[in-house]
Amino acid sequence: MSLSTFLALSIFVAVFTVIFLGIVERKQAVLGGAATLLLLGGGMGFYTLEMAFNAIYFETLLLIFGMSVVSAILAASGIFDQLARRVVRRSASNNAELWLLFVLATYLFSLLVNNLSAMMVILPITLKICHRLRLDPVPILVAEIVASNLGGASTMVGDFPNMIISSAGRLHFIDFIGGMMVPCLLLLAALLLYFQWSQRRSQPDAAALPPEEVVGMSHVVVDREQLRFGQGLLLFSLLGFLLAGWLDLRPGWIALLVGGVGLYGGGLNRAKLEEAAGVSDILFFSGLFLMVGALAATEVMSGLLSLVEGFGVSHLAQLLGLMWVAAVATIFLNAGPSTALFIPVASHLYLLYPDPAVWWALSLGVLAGSSAALTGATAGSVAATQLDRYLLEHPEMGVTLGNGRLDFRGYLRWGLPIMGGFLLFSTLYISLIAH
């Protein structure tokens, strides 16, 4: 191993170690690591500014910007809260139906807006309902985390990994519908059956309560004008993504137009424009792309490629190797960084065999890994944080948790079997579609 490879890999591992331990906020850690690698690469001559510029997937950043603005406008209108409360009123006295509808709502929200944004809407309402009905919130939170991962993986704009893959593979919205929607729907059906079985065994139906008491709010005010504007932007963006291939346009340009119009006329709080535009995520992924570019300039990527190729000489064996290795890496790195790390490997395999199944193998591997542990997806960490915060405010809710906790170890007893099932199904799916 050369000195440049050792140093680049050490910095990469150090950055994600401090993120994993919660010592440094992830954006600051990644930007610091990127700056260090730029200085080190420039000084040692293995990573130039031109290489760094080419390592950034600008289309991914544009997609993050555009869809963050749309999500912010719709959330500010109050429509998400209203829809979630309607779900509660529909099933306030039926435990099984309640979690089923919440999981479906999480999946549907995650299809059209960023899956993390969907979770930020669903989580507070879920905790409040579980508190009122004296239900253990952990199983339904786990189901919502996995459902958000599935919804995000179903479309090009549902999560950050697919945005990265769409940029690297020059893929369009309709490509993801054809390649990822069907397996994700089948995995969602399996998830619902699994949790329905486990819920029936573990918790009785809740006692009936008046809808207003369950929700804790009898009326939700929706800004109709802002809602119409947000719906129009969402419809325009989805139509644009669907027609982008026919119009010979990249989705990033459509996202840039949508985001610009949304910031100008969306009625967003000017004090929170930076948050609405996804600036924090854009900076994080910019730094991440720079770090992965530095690794690609060393021997690290050739080592990953050798690991994947070690699964066999056939195209299918290498696709399955990519999927399984990416799944394991995602448990520790998180979905976005893991996808960025394996993009050069997937791109190399695609050059050897121009088969779009390469991209679906990577996406499904990241999906499985992100559902295995709290560290695999940002939604998992957010859910755990929100539960801990709610328990501090309502300590009496602790008696409903039983033996389960939404921490790293407690989540694994749910996540590892889910990951195993997802990988087995995905292995069959990739085996069927690989050319």
Contacts of 287 (CB under 8 A, 6+ apart): 27, 30, 31, 33, 34
Query: Residue 209's pLDDT is what?
Result: 47
> 64 versus 345: which is more confidently predicted?
345
Query: Residue 208's pLDDT is what?
Result: 47
Q: What is the mean pLDDT of residues 96-120?
A: 80
Q: What is the mean pLDDT of residues 168-181?
A: 92
Cα-based distances in Å from 23 to 380, 383, 411: 18, 19, 21
**Is the pLDDT at 217 greater than 50, yes or no?**
no
The 10s digit of each residue's pLDDT in 240-262 is: 888 877 877 888 888 899 889 98
Query: Residue 10's pLDDT is what?
Result: 92
**Is the pLDDT at 215 greater than 70, yes or no?**
no
Q: What is the mean pLDDT of residues 348-364?
A: 94
Model-level pTM?
0.80
The 10s digit of each residue's pLDDT in 120-140 is: 778 877 887 777 777 788 888
Q: What is the mean pLDDT of residues 178-207?
A: 79
Query: Residue 404's pLDDT is what?
Result: 56
Which segment, 128-142, 268-282, 411-425, is predicted with the most confidence on average? 411-425
Work out whether the CA dihedral 274, 257, 72, 78 comes out positive or negative.
positive
- The average confidence (pLDDT) of the chain is 83
Strands (E) in 151-203, as ranges, are none
Among 119, 124, 161, 159, CA closest to 143? 119
For the beta carbon of residue 315, count every other beta carbon within 10 angstroms: 16
* Residue listed under structure tokens 């590892």: 416
